[in-house]
Chain A
Amino acid sequence: MTAEVIEAAGRKVGIVEAGDGDPLIYLHGFADLHGVKAEPFPFHEALAENRRLIAPAHPGCGETEEYEDLATVEDAVFHTLEVLDALAIDRFDLVGHCVGGWIAAELAVRHPRRVASLTLIGATGLFVAGAPIGDVFMMAQPARGTEYADLRQMLFEAADSELAQELFPDGRGEVDDEVRRYQMLRFSSFIGFKPPYFYNRSLINRLHRVSCPALVIWGEHDRMVPIDHGHAYAEGLEGCEGLKIVTGAGHAAHLEKPEQVAGIVGDFLTD
């Protein structure tokens, strides 16, 4: 695994790389690499077993510079395109979780021929009537000054699970982790706080443009992005063979059930 800072379109971008093989671009969410930790989780390591995993941090996250004109998901898509150009990567497998999944989908509908395969895990991005995406910002305000149980409940299967408590502890965690969480909230505030809330109403009607094989994975109890969104993605992406539901997992299914989720993705990528 290497962590480096490259320059893309004149801006510093933090990138984590691991493994060898065809390039796989990984776009992160909240409970994720860059979203809370600087190092890959077991899930990412598993992806890197057969691929060259490249995980850039979104603008303002991790080691990536924040930039002034960041306002919409479109800007995040172009940020990612600049990174791909800087790395001279033309065609790639694309995997995204949460907000990263949204960016991945938006990128794939615009540049379908560059995307070899698309994998979405608990992705935001769609508007589904009656199933609003959770307000992660309000949940990120601690109850009674120090308690993050509601945020953990939104991002994980259970607020009191060991993993959830390790990544989003009550009180105060390591300052660097706290800063990474803050950066991710700040980035997301630019692109997803005001309506539309983490979605683009036009995206659903553009999904058919994605021509590559697609995989959609959802935690059974995702309380940030309701599972209806998973069904909507699975239906809208023509190359998808149906939603894969991970039982006993929440929004961060890839961290909670790394072997299982990495197994599903691995099988999909080798098919």
Chain B
Amino acid sequence: MIPAQLFCWHFMAYPHLPADFDERYESGWVTVPNALWDAEKSRGLYQEYIDQMALADRLGFDGLVLNEHHQNIYGLAPSPNLIAAALTQVTSHGKIVVLGNLLPLHMNPMRVAEEYAMLDMMSDGRIIAGFAPGGGPETFNYDVPSASSRELFWESLDLIVRAWTEDGPFTHEGKHFPLRYVNPWPKPLQKPHPPVWVPGSRSPGTLIECAKRGYCYFLSSRSHGSATGRAKDQFTQVLEDHGRKYHPFRMGILLSCYVGEDDRSAREECEEGVWYFLKNCLKGHLRTEGRQLTFGPGVPYIPTKAWRQYLETSKPGRKLLGDAENWEELEQSNSIIVGGPDTVFERLKTLIDNSEVGNLLIQFHLGNMSDDITCKSMERFATQVAPRLREYSTKIFAERFPEMEDELAAAGAAQ
């Protein structure tokens, strides 16, 4: 039987912002002045972050996760494939998940097909290929017209998977990316192709397209209230409509953890990094203060009908994760889970129990958190939380999804 898969996600935040950043700047995204970038202070920063991920691999995490963002202080990996390439050389067993390459930002999707194929060969078949259309900030950074971003995205992704699975050269008669000669060298190691993950925030379009193709749906929400379980129910239904069955490894979720020796010391140790992350990194993204660019009328990527529905079912100015004003509010969002090993285990156990999601993508490094405490938190998680979570999840997944084993075996045989 298969336990929940525990991944370590590194966002690679910029940790050297001035203490009064929040008072002085409107956003940590797109327009955040890059005069604040301190190259001298940042010497060795990428190495520190790569070392933390290499540690996660040695600690037995099932995989390492990277993502792509541009012109922001939240994540310093505009090219996650570069970091993934470095990881192929310093890790040996965990999956390397790039979640994902932002397809509408590429002039030619084949560049992504080629780089993932290289990474799959370099990692001996450990790549999980994530693809995303890019959020609101990327719209502004890279001039992706929101209204056509989904169409660009799915054409690119279908072309990439076809290029991996069908012998070339062939001609792609696409609307946005017509190509005479599709013929990538190399092709990936994994057959028929590396697993494909696609993030979404419960919009029906993405759920349907993932279900049609059998891709893993990664719920990009950072908070985990009842909506997480609802997303799973929604996906279960959509999968059924497309002749597939839900099981926990068809979905992933994102959360953050800090594990201390006990609850009190955990909070004391991580609080600075947590608030730095909430107030600075999320400003412009998941915080109403300033100007958030992630969702709204200025990034009109959802169809008009869906926008009307959103207006009819929501209130203006609802609080976002980064609006938490105190620790209690933060705890309620069930996004950043802080405590001693027992507390963290109990809360994740409940989350798995309620959501029935099998891929847990966990951020350990938050904001300006020091290397020392980040590594200690990861070590405590790996030794004192992960074994219990694996045992518990194996049991409940086996009880609730008795046919999953056969399905996964069948999928494996097909490969």
Contacts and interface: CB of A to CB of B under 8 A. Distances in A.
Interface of A: 60, 66, 71, 135-146, 171-172, 175, 178-179, 181-183, 185-187, 189-190, 193-195
Given A140-B296, A185-B300, A194 B316 contact: no
Given A71-B148, A143-B290, A195 B297 contact: no
Contacts of B147: 186-187, 189-190, 193
Contacts of B288: 144-146
Contacts of B297: 140-141, 178, 181-182, 185
A140 B317 contact: no
Contact of B296 (A136, A142, A193, A194): A142
Interface stretch (B124-132, B138-146, B254-262, B395-403): B138-146
A194 B143 contact: yes
Most central of B26, B297, B307 by chain A CB within 10 Å: B297
Contact of A171 (B136, B146, B317): B317
Given A144-B290, A181-B297, A183-B304, A137 B312 contact: no
A141 B144 contact: no
A146 B320 CA distance: 13
28 contacts: A71-B148, A137-B140, A138-B293, A139-B298, A140-B296, A140-B298, A141-B291, A141-B292, A141-B296, A143-B291, A144-B288, A145-B316, A146-B317, A172-B311, A172-B315, A175-B311, A179-B304, A179-B307, A179-B308, A182-B304, A183-B304, A185-B298, A186-B300, A186-B304, A189-B145, A190-B148, A193-B144, A194-B144
Contacts of B318: 145
A99 to B, nearest CB: 14
Contacts of A181: 297
A193 B143 contact: yes
Interface in B339-395: none
A150 B187 CA distance: 49
Most central of A60, A66, A142 by chain B CB within 10 Å: A142
B31 to A, nearest CB: 8
Q: What class of interface size applies to chain B in its complex with A?
A: 20 to 34
A172 B299 CA distance: 17
A128 to B, nearest CB: 19
Interface of B: 26, 136, 139-140, 143-148, 288-293, 296-300, 303-304, 307-308, 311-312, 315-318, 320
Contacts, number: 94
B316 A171 contact: yes
A72 to B, nearest CB: 11
Contacts of B143: 193-195
A138 B308 CA distance: 20
Nearest to A181: B297
A253 B43 CA distance: 53
A182 B292 contact: no
Given A141-B292, A143-B290, 11 more contacts: A60-B304, A141-B136, A142-B317, A143-B26, A143-B291, A146-B316, A175-B312, A185-B297, A189-B147, A190-B147, A193-B145
A175 B308 contact: yes
A194 B317 contact: no
Given A171-B316, A182-B300, A189 B146 contact: yes
A141 B29 CA distance: 13
In order of increasing CB-CB distance, the 10 nearest A-B pairs are: A145-B288, A140-B298, A145-B317, A146-B317, A193-B145, A186-B300, A141-B298, A189-B147, A172-B316, A137-B298
Contact of A145 (B139, B292, B299, B308): B292
Contacts of A60: 304
A136 B304 CA distance: 18
A144 B317 CA distance: 8
Nearest to A185: B300
Contacts of B148: 71, 189-190
A237 B153 CA distance: 41
Contacts of B146: 137, 186, 189, 193
A181 B303 CA distance: 13
Contacts of B140: 135, 137-138
Contacts of B289: 144
A179 B297 CA distance: 9
A14 B358 CA distance: 49
Nearest to B318: A145
A150 to B, nearest CB: 8
A29 to B, nearest CB: 16
Given A175-B311, A190-B147, A141 B317 contact: no
A186 B316 CA distance: 20
Given A189-B147, A193-B146, A137 B299 contact: yes
B298 A66 contact: no
A137 B298 CA distance: 4
Nearest to B304: A183
A71 B148 CA distance: 9
A66 B317 contact: no
Nearest to A171: B316
B304 A138 contact: no
Nearest to A150: B291
B37 to A, nearest CB: 22
A142 B299 contact: no
Contacts of B315: 172
A23 B259 CA distance: 73
B8 to A, nearest CB: 32
